[in-house]
Structure 1
Amino acid sequence: MKVRLHQRFFREAVLASYGSCCCVCSNPVPQLLTAGHIIPWAEREDLRANPRNGLCLCSLHHDAFDYGLWTLEDSYEIRLSPKLVAYLPNETLESNFIHYSRAKIRMPDKFWPEAEFLAFHRTNLFLG
């Protein structure tokens, strides 16, 4: 029960911070939004409910982030993995990823992503 409470708090805090829109593409459809962990859930128990370890993402951008196909710079700019770019030219990738390359994410009202967590993602998960 405690885990569910933490998950619920994390999701609600992250989505509210980002105005219930994907921080990459601004998708507002609630059924397609997730609260993604920057440092994975299994990696650090102490960060599981920390909203600064979260991003509000649509399902597509969440999966791609978890697979290391894109990451964030400390400036909050989106950097794409060469593994993703290798599939170009492709209309779907161009509209859903290339269009946002080097753009800054939509920033939250509070609970900005922690630089240390972003650095972990770049170093350990990003396929750079």
Structure 2
Amino acid sequence: MYQFENQLANPNTNYFIIDSSSSPEHNDVDFKFYSYQNKSNKQLHDGDLIIYRRSGSASEWGNEFYLYGAAEFGEIVREDPETGSNLVAIKSPYLFSHHLMKQNLRTFDWKFRTFKGKWSNFFNMNGITQISKEDFVGLLQRQKDLVPDEPALSPEEESIAVKCYQAEKMESYFINDKAKGIRTYDAVNKFFSDKVKFNYHYKSALVADKNEADLQVVRIVPWDDNKDIHLDSRNGICLTKTLANAFTQGYFTLSDSGHMIVSVIPSDDSETNLTLNKYKNRKIHMNREYSPNKKYLQYHREHVFKQ
């Protein structure tokens, strides 16, 4: 929360959860621009702090809303007198390390409003809900607590993580090992790991394990082998840690249809061998939108798998 220190210390700062569709029709660009009706939403001011929410109607996750980032409300860059809408620049963007889904918010102690167990009408219908400072700080802490092993990122790395999010939205997957002299791996991993886990609904693709502490994202084509796909979530699979380690070392691979193929070369770890034999021929969960790219699977079979 380093980038919000000044605003948090300012008693005049207001705090909001805003709905963003990231849709061209609404002129919303996540972490860059936000469009809203200025006549009905006069409480928003330059310097206020916001948390992004994707509403259920715009969600890619079974019509379930989620929170995914924070930022500072900036200056108005365009006013439209005909529609009564303002386009505002977004400053100090911060990508969450973990999407906050309903399951992550069930026990959250809201201060701005009493949560009575139902989400309907909990957030304002106009897409702008004013919350308390305690809510804002607590939500940022909640998403960090869900990824306790994530390395601390510098301000420059946090900025890279946001740019990874924006680039992936445009289906641009290239990023170099360094950007302006800064190693990009940790920043990319912040975006990539949560994106893949989100795609798999925070479950293992093979064993439907819901214990997030035992989940790990693996790259099908290793990081060093292809810079052009560093941001492509279809190069990632969410697995349990034991299976993730075995996949990375080539002790099993996947067919184009997603079936597990176990190497004839046994692992040095007996627990890994037992796990591989248990799930041999198991098919991973496949989805048309985010299933592994078959070209990447072929690469893994030919260059990583121990044959």
TM-score class, shorter: 0.7 to 0.9
Asked whether 1:20 is paired with 2:202, we answer yes
8 Å contact from structure 1 (residues 77, 104) kept in 2: yes
Deviation at 1:93, TM superposition (A): 3.1
Unaligned runs of 5+ in 1: none
Asked whether 1:78 is paired with 2:257, we answer no
Equivalent positions of 1:59-78 (< 5 A) are: 59-78=241-260
8 Å contact from structure 2 (residues 214, 240) kept in 1: yes
8 Å contact from structure 1 (residues 22, 33) kept in 2: yes
**Which residue matches 2:292?**
113
Bigger mean CA offset, 33-42 vs 113-122: 33-42
Unaligned runs of 5+ in 2: 1-156, 161-183
8 Å contact from structure 2 (residues 235, 293) kept in 1: yes
Structure 1 CA distance, aligned partners of 2:287 and 2:280? Answer: 19
Structure 2 CA distance, aligned partners of 1:67 and 1:92? Answer: 11
Q: How many residues align?
A: 125
**Which residue matches 1:30?**
212
Bigger mean CA offset, 5-14 vs 74-83: 5-14
Gap change, CA 1:85 and 1:35, over 3 Å in 2 = closer
Gap change, CA 1:5 and 1:110, over 3 Å in 2 = farther
AA matched with 1:18: Y
8 Å contact from structure 1 (residues 17, 109) kept in 2: no
Larger radius of gyration: 2
User: Which structure shows the bigger proportion of residues in helix conformation?
Assistant: 1
Give the structure-2-normalised TM-score.
0.38
Structure 2 CA distance, aligned partners of 1:18 and 1:108? Answer: 9
Structure 1 CA distance, aligned partners of 2:209 and 2:188? Answer: 25
8 Å contact from structure 2 (residues 242, 272) kept in 1: no
Give the structure-1-normalised TM-score.
0.86
**Which residue matches 1:56?**
238
**Which residue matches 2:109?**
none
Identity in percent: 26
Q: Output one character per residue of 1:23-82: Cα deviation in whole Å (capped at 9) or x when no partner.
A: 122222112211110000111122122100000011101110011000000111000000
Structure 1 CA distance, aligned partners of 2:257 and 2:263? Answer: 17
Asked whether 1:127 is paired with 2:301, we answer no
Determine which structure has greater relative contact order: mean sequence separation of CA pairs < 8 Å that are 6+ residues apart, divided by chain length. 1
User: Which structure shows the bigger proportion of residues in strand conformation?
Assistant: 2
Structure 2 CA distance, aligned partners of 1:107 and 1:75? Answer: 8
AA matched with 1:59: K
CA RMSD of aligned residues (A): 2.2
8 Å contact from structure 2 (residues 219, 236) kept in 1: yes
Structure 2 CA distance, aligned partners of 1:7 and 1:86? Answer: 28
Structure 2 CA distance, aligned partners of 1:49 and 1:35? Answer: 13
Structure 1 CA distance, aligned partners of 2:197 and 2:303? Answer: 25
Structure 2 CA distance, aligned partners of 1:22 and 1:53? Answer: 15
Structure 2 CA distance, aligned partners of 1:66 and 1:117? Answer: 13
